[in-house]
Amino acid sequence: MVTFFVLVEALYVLIDFQFFSELELQLDAASLAAGIAVFLGLFNGVLGIFELITQWFASSRLVERIGVFRAGAILPMLVIAIGIGSIISSWNGWVTLFVGIVAIKFVDELFHYTLIEGTGPVLFQPLPESQRNNLQARVNGVAEPLATGVAGVGMWTVITFGKRFFDDEAWPAIQSQLFVWIIIAVGIAWVIAIWLMRSRYVELLVFSAERGRLGVSDVDLRALKRSVVETLEKHKSDADKRSCVELLTQIDPKNVGDALAPLLETLSPSLKRQSLEAMLNYPNPQYLTHVRDLIATPQQPEVLALALRYIWLTEKTPNMEQLQPYLRPEVDPVVRSTAAALIMRKGDRNQKAEATNTLRLMLTSQQERERVMGTQALGEAEYLQGLRLYIPSLLKDESLRVRCALLEVIASTHLEEYYPSLLRGLYYKSTREAAMRSLVRLENEVLDRLVALAEDINKPDLVRMYAWNTIAEIGTPETLNVLISHLMTAWGMNRRNILRIVLKIPNDRGIEAALDRLGRSGIELMIDQELMFLGRIYGTLIDLEPLTENLMAGVIDGIPTMLLDSNAKGGLTPEYAATLLQRSLRDLESDAEERLFLLMRFLYPLSSIQAATFNLKSGSQTSMARGIEILDNTIDIPSKRALLSVLDGQSYREKLQNLTDTINYTPMNPSDRLRRLLELRHFLSDWPLACCYHLARVARTALTTEQTIGGLRHPTGFVREAVLSYLKVASPRALLELLPKMQSDPDPLVSAQVQVLMSELGLERSA
């Protein structure tokens, strides 16, 4: 692409120079100035009229009819043809070389500012936006001026050395012919550059289409379809042809059959299958003849099944009796299940009974493939009738493929009583992908259930994250509103997950929805919340320093094994517990900084924020300084100074001083600071919260009843375990009343600890 624009500029400079050189040679010295003025006036006047006519009536139609690349090749082809013709004519004495140069100059001016300038921006469309902007800037600001300079130096070099080898009388004629040959050579190079660029253009379009960046308005559909058909007709690899089909499906899905239907018989089985699947999205009766021709010849079962589905779903009055032979047991399960599903959809009572019996035999077969195909056919049938009885047993089928197929059947047939099975599918890696596809297919119908699952703190974090992911993939305005509304109230890992999910929604729809709903002020408010939370962390780290200032490095190995038994020899000390809490708080600090970078991506270019993030996390002082400088020149929020100080490599006290506008810090003793930190327990993750209770135990810090009960109700087992360890020291009487009620705790760690404590306290285990 860069070569294309470089050659455009170089050719323009060469033609312009030779045009004026020839003009000067044709006029004598006495009438030079006046003659040039008169000639240029007539030349530019005629040229302007033709440019206006071309711009109004020809340029857009040319691009539409022959495509961008052929339109771009018109100018160099004309230059080559006129150049060769003018040289041959000058040799035979038919026309002077001057006439040829004027003709070349005329077509160059005519098409340079009509076709070339108009088609240039289209060539950048398939590139990613960040690369597109950089490349356009390099082409306009560097490549084109450099091409002009290099062309000028080249011309000066040719003229300088030419005068040394030829006498003054012979050189002007030789120079004219030499420069015309150079112009022809540059024109040939230009045509080659267009051909090479065209060969890679489809790949770029597929690349853009796969990422959702390409729309119908970005390309010339007629030229693209013509190029795709040419590619499919040539002897190219299936991978290249598959990319072409994917591109057509992305760009113009409704009319994809125009290009694919006539080529069905010539394609490989895998491409036939892909093409029929694309055509089935928008079936059209005008392609039925081409699809029927496939059935007339032997085909692979998958292809035959798709062809049957296309014909019997597209015809207005299909003859269902023709499908009955496909219900025989010897027919491949793929074809048999397809025929049964079509008959159950459009057949009469007797035909439906026969099809139902066929599917019943497939669903109860001992062969996995039979059950899989039978299950998939259930999703295509409009009425399951008696086959509903087999769904509970299929949900427990030993075959993973059967279970995944059934999840999609539940979605396609809207079996609401089995929607909980779709949600349970998110728990297991093997069924997660199928469950997500099925839930996305149901769209807003399952939105409330997904939100309830994502909000349930007692569910695994991974499952909650996939619930948010599924909500984002549904992509309706309602789901976007749900994500954005929860963004303000969520915290910690939950907020981080939602931020990542919203930012990944294609075409920046998530970013736009967040800015529309929250506005810039809402994003800035969340940044201030993160800064305030960081201020609390810094204050805690500073106030815990008295407990750890005498702790020697390297003596904390094995501490995690001591956390469960405070009576062990060399058990957990306040210094060790404070060190563990400080480490966990530093992890919270890293999490908060990550959320800050995610929030900044809503307001500023992705490339700038990514560059700053990379440099700040490098660990190098020079790179960190560069990252701070990038942010300093990028962000413009009110809390900019505080944000930069937080991300800079300063001490906690210096960072806290820079956050005075966000949070007021008052020094506290470790016990008071620990109680204050537990008041913020809803903002702490699991491990820092457990460390708080362990420190309270070994430091003999009295906690409030509310703080203790809140820890016992926490969904994570090792947090409840830490609270029980604290109560053993702080309130044995309360522990005696509490232990019998916690014998059936679902977490094995807590239930085992309860049994140990009951044995130590002499309590008997109740039934």
Cβ–Cβ < 8 Å for 13, 145? no
3 state DSSP class of 607: helix
Q: DSSP letter for 112, please.
A: I
**Side-chain-facing half-sphere of 53: CA atoms under 13 Å:** 6
What is the spatial distance between Cα 145 and Cα 151, in angstroms, rounded to a whole number? 10
- Within 10 angstroms of residue 666's Cβ, the number of other Cβ atoms is 9
Instruction: Return the residue matching tokens 């020809």.
Output: 58
Cβ–Cβ < 8 Å for 259, 225? yes
What is the spatial distance between Cα 607 and Cα 618, in angstroms, rounded to a whole number? 17
pLDDT value at 318 more than 60: yes
The predicted pLDDT at position 317 comes to 82
What is the spatial distance between Cα 22 and Cα 18, in angstroms, rounded to a whole number? 6
478 or 177: whose pLDDT is higher? 478
Which tokens go with 740? 């019998």
- 581-628 residue pLDDT tens: 999 999 999 999 999 999 999 999 888 888 888 888 877 888 888 888
Q: DSSP letter for 565, please.
A: -
Lowest mean pLDDT among 23-27, 288-292, 712-716: 23-27
443 or 140: whose pLDDT is higher? 443
What is the spatial distance between Cα 447 and Cα 322, in angstroms, rounded to a whole number? 42
**pTM here?**
0.70
Cβ–Cβ < 8 Å for 683, 491? yes
Please choose, from the candidates 180, 115, 145, the residue with its C-alpha nearest in 3D space to the C-alpha of residue 9: 145
The predicted pLDDT at position 155 comes to 85
Task: Specify the amino acid at residue 100.
Answer: G
Which tokens go with 696? 């309270």
pLDDT value at 270 more than 80: yes
Distance of CA 240 to the CA centre of its chain: 22
pLDDT value at 561 more than 70: no
Lowest mean pLDDT among 230-234, 577-581, 597-601: 230-234
680 exposure class (CB count in 10 Å sphere: 0-12, 13-18, 19+): middle
Q: With pLDDT > 90 as the criterion, what percentage of the chain qualifies? A: 31
The predicted pLDDT at position 626 comes to 85
* Dihedral angle of Cα 305, 311, 317, 319, to the nearest 10 degrees: -50
What confidence category does residue 558 fall into, taking pLDDT thresholds of 50, 70 and 90? very low
Cβ–Cβ < 8 Å for 172, 31? no
For the chain, state the CA radius of gyration: 38
pLDDT value at 114 more than 50: yes
- 86-101 residue pLDDT tens: 888 877 766 677 888 8
123 or 350: whose pLDDT is higher? 350
Q: DSSP letter for 30, please.
A: T
**Taking every pair of C-alpha atoms in the chain, what is the biggest distance, in angstroms?**
126
What is the spatial distance between Cα 261 and Cα 243, in angstroms, rounded to a whole number? 17
Helix ranges (DSSP H) in 347-442 = 349-363, 368-380, 391-395, 400-413, 419-424, 429-442
> What residues have CB less than 8 Å from 104, skipping those under 6 apart?
15, 19, 79, 82, 83, 86, 180, 183
pLDDT value at 205 more than 60: no
pLDDT value at 676 more than 80: yes
Mean pLDDT of the chain: 83
What is the spatial distance between Cα 602 and Cα 589, in angstroms, rounded to a whole number? 21
The predicted pLDDT at position 337 comes to 92
Backbone angles phi, psi at 193, to 5 degrees: -60, -40
What confidence category does residue 766 fall into, taking pLDDT thresholds of 50, 70 and 90? low
Which tokens go with 220? 């010339």
Cβ–Cβ < 8 Å for 89, 104? no
What confidence category does residue 161 fall into, taking pLDDT thresholds of 50, 70 and 90? confident
Q: DSSP letter for 417, please.
A: G
What is the spatial distance between Cα 350 and Cα 321, in angstroms, rounded to a whole number? 11
What is the spatial distance between Cα 574 and Cα 54, in angstroms, rounded to a whole number? 86
CA angle, 60 then 66 then 71, to 5° = 65
- 53-71 residue pLDDT tens: 877 777 777 766 676 777 7
What is the spatial distance between Cα 451 and Cα 423, in angstroms, rounded to a whole number? 11
Q: DSSP letter for 140, please.
A: I
What is the spatial distance between Cα 154 and Cα 633, in angstroms, rounded to a whole number? 42
What is the spatial distance between Cα 255 and Cα 266, in angstroms, rounded to a whole number? 20
Which tokens go with 375? 């299950």
What is the secondary structure of 664-710 as a DSSP string?
------HHHHHHHHHHTGGGS-HHHHHHHHHHHHHTTPPPPHHHHHH
Structural domains in the chain, CATH included, are: 2-192 (1.20.1250.20), 529-667 (no CATH)
> What residues have CB less than 8 Å from 541, skipping those under 6 apart?
582, 585, 586, 652
Cβ–Cβ < 8 Å for 408, 438? yes
Q: DSSP letter for 332, please.
A: -
The predicted pLDDT at position 678 comes to 92
pLDDT value at 563 more than 70: no
Task: Specify the amino acid at residue 446.
Answer: V
Backbone angles phi, psi at 374, to 5 degrees: -65, -40
What is the spatial distance between Cα 378 and Cα 389, in angstroms, rounded to a whole number? 12
Which tokens go with 384? 């399951």
Which tokens go with 94? 């038919």
Backbone angles phi, psi at 620, to 5 degrees: -85, 135
